[in-house]
Chains A and B, each alone.
Chain A
């Protein structure tokens, strides 16, 4: 059972975090002067590496709760932040 929890945190938590990373990197790149679609390409280019790092960290970190907090919570925060900020730019 601890195994399943760990896999869930790595796969689902890492997934949420990566989506947060992609959306916030797209927006950040755009704000700092990249063309929107180039910023998006850059974000997707890095997405796989970020997901990989998140998964590995999820297994290396001792406290499972912290994994959920950082990956799940951090990912959600990035998503919500980018969503709100992108509306301001319209």
Chain B
């Protein structure tokens, strides 16, 4: 639409990045944290700080719990909004399916039970509406976790991870759609960024911090973007693919009759009933099925721990049990054996993946990261942080490039974007560290312990935005907002305080956790300390630079040609 292809791509890059960058920052940062979600869970729920244990006995430990699980009030509320008419009382709902899962990083076995409801869904495309109930089991003792511990907010899987993919906006799945749009925006930004970058190979390794802020910000933006390009592209692509069925529902919406026929044909072919028969049936020993599964995996020469047991149509004659391997040794997940619940005989074994399924499985596994490979986990974490750095420097470049011009013409644009950038970069870190600190300091018996932690998170973030707005007038005259430095000090202080609070409330200081080799907690503490150090260094240098420029406020004008590639 612009004069040349390159200019129209630059235009798209700038404005799409500006609009969606704020969301992307959240998605990439909390996605990076989610690489270590199980470890953050251990840090934030100290009662569960134990070594990971293999899958316990199903018959002895899991089976008695199934009948105890009741529909979760939050899930009842959620489903009530999705269906026509009122739901039956929770006691009258019948359990239909259940799943129980763990993995090599989890000292807990987690379980969900799906309850049938007779109501019709409001959305005719939803063919199954359920209400869920939850329980956790300690595999060391075989005991069910007490309700208060069960309901405790685990910050990794319970807060940061959902924030990463749906922003905790449940209404009409709005959060999923915003994240999806932002993910598409990331892909567009990567492609357009490559198109507009003229010296992609000549400046492959180039970062020139001494050449003025505009130049060095652009260098860092280009460098992180180019070096991490394959990672950033694949992680955005694979993330979008997870929800592609929701984003592009045209096959389900337009070809539902054909799909149902094919579903029935598949059930016929595999022997796995899609619907219950309505006749009652028993449940044979699941431990024996797991034994059978382990023996088959051993015969194939693959590591053979059980990752998940799923039972379809509980108590029905057509009920079946699917046992999946904890795929620690590969990227793709889902190697599953299916047994008849009544007889315990193998009905169906997933065939080797076709080419399409192999690619799909690799991309899915690349995003969920169930494998056992600590160096790779750290590499992916670093890749995610490089994505954050790329997005953050994109904002900074937008502001740096425009603030002088906006200052001369009294346009508030640069000032507004800078305040939003402060809130979405350093403010997000302030909120995260404040939440970790609150997690350790709020008394356990406080009513709404989980809600209070979330309040601390959201209010700390809101505070950082207000603080950034109040401190931003200097940007309007072409300077740098002192909010960056202030908030870097806050991050340093809060992160350090979180480490100390962890020590004070649990006794697990670094010397002991490192000494014992309990890396889930030691790792979180070490990352917090490293973050505190980096934030303090940044704050110190920002302060020193502010002191220098206040002497020579009219610093040498930066070369106008820089960033012309992004000139729009």
Contacts and interface: CB of A to CB of B under 8 A. Distances in A.
A86 B260 CA distance: 12
Contact of B258 (A51, A64, A89): A89
A55 interface: yes
A79 interface: yes
Interface string A43-79: 1110111011001100111101000000000000001
A41 B360 contact: yes
Given A22-B250, A41-B360, A48-B237, A59 B8 contact: yes
Given A22-B251, A23-B251, A86 B257 contact: yes
Given A19-B250, A79-B250, A44 B258 contact: no
B354 A38 contact: yes
Interface centre among B184, B237, B255, B265 (most CB of A within 10 A): B255
Contacts of B247: 47
Contact of B357 (A20, A30, A38, A47): A38
Interface centre among A20, A56, A64 (most CB of B within 10 A): A56
B7 to A, nearest CB: 10
Interface string A14-28: 000011101100110
Chain A interface mostly helix, strand, loop or mixed?
helix
A59 B9 contact: yes
B376 interface: no
Nearest to A61: B1
A36 B356 CA distance: 12
Nearest to B251: A26
A58 B354 CA distance: 34
Given A18-B248, A22-B251, A3 B356 contact: no
Q: For chain B, which range describes its interface: under 10, 10 to 19, 20 to 34, or 35 or more residues?
A: 35 or more
B347 interface: no
B547 interface: no
Contacts of B188: 52, 55-56
Given A38-B357, A45-B356, A45-B360, A51 B184 contact: yes
A41 B354 CA distance: 11
Interface in B156-213: 181, 184, 187-188, 191-192
Contacts of A79: 250, 254
B503 interface: no
Contacts of B9: 56, 59-60
B248 A47 contact: yes
Contact of A83 (B8, B11, B184, B254): B254
B365 to A, nearest CB: 14
B284 interface: no
A38 B12 CA distance: 35
B151 interface: no
A44 B249 CA distance: 10
Nearest to B181: A11
Contacts of A34: 356
Contacts of B5: 60
B262 A22 contact: no
Given A44-B241, A48-B237, A59-B11, A86 B360 contact: no
B141 to A, nearest CB: 41
Contacts of B251: 22-23, 26, 40, 43
A3 B248 CA distance: 25
Contacts of A64: 1
Given A42-B356, A61-B1, A90 B250 contact: no
Given A18-B248, A41-B357, A62 B1 contact: yes
Given A56-B188, A60-B8, A48 B250 contact: no
A19 B359 contact: no
25 contacts: A18-B248, A19-B248, A19-B249, A22-B250, A35-B266, A36-B265, A37-B262, A38-B354, A43-B251, A44-B241, A45-B363, A48-B187, A48-B241, A56-B9, A56-B192, A60-B5, A60-B8, A60-B9, A82-B250, A82-B254, A83-B254, A83-B255, A86-B255, A87-B257, A87-B258
Q: Which 7 A-B pairs have the closest CB atoms?
A: A36-B262, A23-B250, A19-B250, A44-B244, A86-B255, A83-B254, A86-B258
Given A36-B259, A38-B357, A59-B1, 18 more contacts: A2-B1, A19-B250, A26-B255, A27-B255, A35-B262, A36-B266, A38-B354, A41-B356, A41-B360, A51-B184, A52-B188, A52-B191, A55-B184, A56-B192, A83-B255, A86-B255, A86-B258, A90-B258
Interface of B: 1, 5, 8-9, 11-12, 15, 181, 184, 187-188, 191-192, 237, 240-241, 244-245, 247-251, 254-255, 257-259, 261-262, 265-266, 354, 356-357, 359-360, 363
